[in-house]
């Protein structure tokens, strides 16, 4: 079961699962995704996963699903994720992100289900001078309601695992970017994107006249925020590894937590330069004020994921920029046609 399975991360993970021979049921409420992604998944894999349109905040609907399905593993992506919006609409984020997780965990506990992957975020690390960040770092006060929902969610999973004897992995993503090489799936938000890479590609495609860099006065080499940008396919493959680790009883404890990143940080300006160099396109942008909730710099210590999961990122920043632009071009042709 993959919640949020027609979203950005979810769809790429579903492709990897189907290619490995798993049967997949997708749960998605289509609040920030499109059902047509199911057709793209079929074109890539030759397989069509089951799709159930459902809001996980409705407990009776969640229970009804499990009444009619035998599930070996759950990957829980479904959540609102825009940092800026969470600052403006905190209750929207607390209600959706936490209630959906509570409903799932209650079913897991009541029905003695196993093998649960929770989609977390590097935003839980907040502002810290310790770089790279590792999984043992104490978590600070969150910088945004979104980050707070991830901190609380991690703790909820840990506490349920303790009493229910469920196997669970918490995966802290850094900054997913790029698209599947087929250019059939990629980042395709219904609303105005908040992530840097789709903003860049939309500007390059002429959908935006320019974009804004939020702050150039941070304590970083070029003054712009630093993030660990990781290819979405790398993240998707890590989920398959995490699921198989638990299903094959190779986990060392029933609660494990891993960073998913490249182990290297790039500034906003470095990402812009990589796009321009890789694709031969000059971007138009302006410098604006800092955005509330943004963290100055963060990149991953991936030692644990590399050694314990046996996983490491494979794609470079240039490959991320190349695939993202290929996806934007394909998307533009689709919309025009």
Element (H, E) at 19: helix 8-19
Q: Which pLDDT tens digit goes with each residue over 133-171?
A: 999 999 999 989 999 999 999 999 999 999 998 999 999
Average pLDDT rounded to a whole number, residues 114-132: 93
Active site residues per annotation: 146
On whether residue 325 sits in a domain, the answer given is yes
On whether residue 157 sits in a domain, the answer given is yes
Query: Which string of DSSP letters, residue by residue, matches 268-300?
Result: HHHHHHHHHHHHT----EEEEPPPTT--SB--B
On whether residue 336 sits in a domain, the answer given is no
On whether residue 337 sits in a domain, the answer given is no
> Helix (H, G, I), strand (E, B), or coil: what is residue 242?
helix
Q: Which pLDDT tens digit goes with each residue over 210-222?
A: 999 999 999 999 9
Structure confidence at residue 191 (pLDDT): 73
On whether residue 133 sits in a domain, the answer given is yes
Report H helices in 46-144: 59-67, 83-88, 90-93, 99-110
Please give the tally of structural domains in the chain: 1
Closest to 114 measured CA to CA, from 278, 255, 319: 255
d(CA 143, CA 320): 27
CATH of the domain at 174: 3.40.50.720
Domain containing 49 equals: 2-329
On whether residue 334 sits in a domain, the answer given is no
Structure confidence at residue 335 (pLDDT): 59
Average pLDDT rounded to a whole number, residues 267-275: 98
Q: Does the predicted TM-score (pTM) go above 0.85?
A: yes
pLDDT exceeds cutoff 50 at 337: no
Q: Which pLDDT tens digit goes with each residue over 305-322?
A: 999 999 999 999 999 999
Higher pLDDT, 94 or 293: 94
On whether residue 308 sits in a domain, the answer given is yes
Structure confidence at residue 295 (pLDDT): 83
Q: Which pLDDT tens digit goes with each residue over 33-87?
A: 999 999 999 999 999 999 999 999 999 999 999 999 999 999 999 999 888 889 9
Give me the phi and psi of 101, to 5 degrees please.
-70, -40
């Amino acid at each position: 079961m993959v919640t949020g399975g027609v979203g950005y991360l979810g769809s790429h993970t579903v492709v990897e699962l189907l290619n490995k021979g798993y049967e997949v049921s997708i749960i998605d409420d289509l609040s920030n995704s499109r059902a047509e992604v199911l057709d793209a998944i079929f074109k890539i894999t030759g397989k069509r996963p089951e799709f159930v349109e459902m809001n996980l905040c409705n407990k009776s609907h969640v229970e009804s699903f499990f009444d009619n399905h035998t599930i070996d593993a759950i990957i829980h992506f479904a959540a609102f994720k825009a940092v800026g919006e969470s600052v403006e609409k905190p209750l929207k984020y607390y209600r959706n992100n936490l209630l959906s997780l509570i409903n799932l965990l209650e079913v897991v506990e009541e029905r003695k289900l196993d093998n649960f992957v929770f989609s977390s975020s590097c935003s839980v690390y907040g502002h810290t001078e310790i770089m790279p960040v590792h999984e043992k770092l104490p978590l600070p006060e969150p910088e945004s309601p979104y980050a707070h929902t991830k901190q609380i969610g991690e703790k909820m999973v840990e506490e349920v695992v303790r009493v229910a004897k469920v196997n669970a992995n918490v995966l802290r993503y850094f900054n997913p970017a790029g698209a599947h090489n087929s250019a059939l799936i990629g980042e395709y938000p219904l609303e105005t994107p908040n992530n840097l890479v789709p903003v860049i590609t939309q500007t390059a495609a002429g959908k935006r006249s320019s974009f804004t860099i939020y702050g150039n006065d941070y304590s970083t080499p070029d003054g712009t925020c630093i993030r660990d940008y990781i290819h979405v396919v790398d993240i998707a493959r890590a989920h398959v590894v995490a699921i198989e680790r638990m299903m094959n009883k190779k986990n060392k404890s029933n609660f494990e937590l891993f960073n998913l990143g490249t182990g290297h940080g790039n500034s906003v300006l470095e990402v812009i330069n990589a796009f321009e160099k890789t694709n031969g396109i000059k971007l138009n942008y302006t410098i604006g004020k800092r955005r509330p909730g943004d963290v100055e710099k963060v990149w991953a210590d991936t030692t644990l994921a590399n050694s314990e999961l046996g996983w490491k990122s494979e794609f470079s920043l240039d490959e991320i920029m190349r695939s993202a632009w290929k996806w934007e071009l394909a998307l533009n042709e689709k919309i025009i046609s």
